[in-house]
Amino acid sequence: MNLPGSLQALEKPLGLPPGLIAHAEEIRQQDGLNRLHLSMEDTKKLKKSDQAIYQEGCDILKSEAAEDEAVRRKYGTDRWTRPTAEEAAPKLYAQIGEIDGYFKAAVNSDNIVKKKLKENEYHIQLLSGTDRDLENFVPSGRKPTMTPAVEKEAAKLRGCINEVSRLESRRRRKIEALRMKAKQDDISRHCACFRAMVF
């Protein structure tokens, strides 16, 4: 039954763990939840700005490719020998593909962060609140309400545990006293007397 620890937890809870209090204080100082929401909004704005710049670059390349194709059709490939943009700048087109991959990966990452924030928002809000809110939420953080019958049985159990402790203490003292007597009792003297009588 995990005695006497479980009884002590019932009679006098340990309170909030120091680590939890430290985390809560850090979240309060940093304005936790609001800061997370502001960071997400800032990220959203940056993403929108970056996508606009990326799209502008892609549109310029598409426009250039369309002009190149129109001139090729007009003058023919014999007279228009300039290489296509993809042939002239393969690294640039490779970067476009990479950046597009980054944007897709960012969308997935953003969705994971949003989901995790939504799942944990209540607990972050709780940590941002008062210690009293935390004590009411954490099971061992507050003294449980006990019915009179449970209090009576807990008192009986406490009495039994105290009696066992007293008996153990008395037994330890008795054992120690017997050990001391055994050390003081020198049987070598008795052996010498016995030998003298026999011989």
In CATH terms, the fold of domain 15-144 is Butyryl-CoA Dehydrogenase, subunit A; domain 3 (1.20.140)
Give the pLDDT of residue 90.
86
pLDDT digits (tens, 9 = 90+) for 174-183: 999 888 887 7
How far apart are alpha carbons 190 and 168 in whole angstroms? Answer: 34
Residue 92 has pLDDT above 80, yes or no: yes
Reported as a pLDDT band with limits 50, 70 and 90, residue 1 is low
Q: Where are the domains of the chain?
A: 15-144, 146-199
Reported as a pLDDT band with limits 50, 70 and 90, residue 108 is very high
Query: Average of pLDDT values for 111-130?
Result: 91
Looking at 34-43, 104-113, 131-140, 169-178, which range is the least confident one? 131-140
Give the pLDDT of residue 171.
93
The residue among 75 and 167 whose pLDDT is bigger is 167
Give the pLDDT of residue 115.
94
pLDDT > 70 fraction of the chain, expressed in percent and rounded? 82
Query: Average of pLDDT values for 43-63?
Result: 92
Query: Average of pLDDT values for 131-138?
Result: 80
Give the pLDDT of residue 195.
59
Reported as a pLDDT band with limits 50, 70 and 90, residue 104 is very high
Query: Average of pLDDT values for 146-175?
Result: 86
Give the pLDDT of residue 152.
86
Non-local CB neighbours of 103 within 8 Å, separated by 6+ positions = 47, 50, 51, 54
Q: How far is CA 146 from the centre of its chain?
A: 32
Residue 37 has pLDDT above 60, yes or no: yes
Residue 144 has pLDDT above 70, yes or no: no
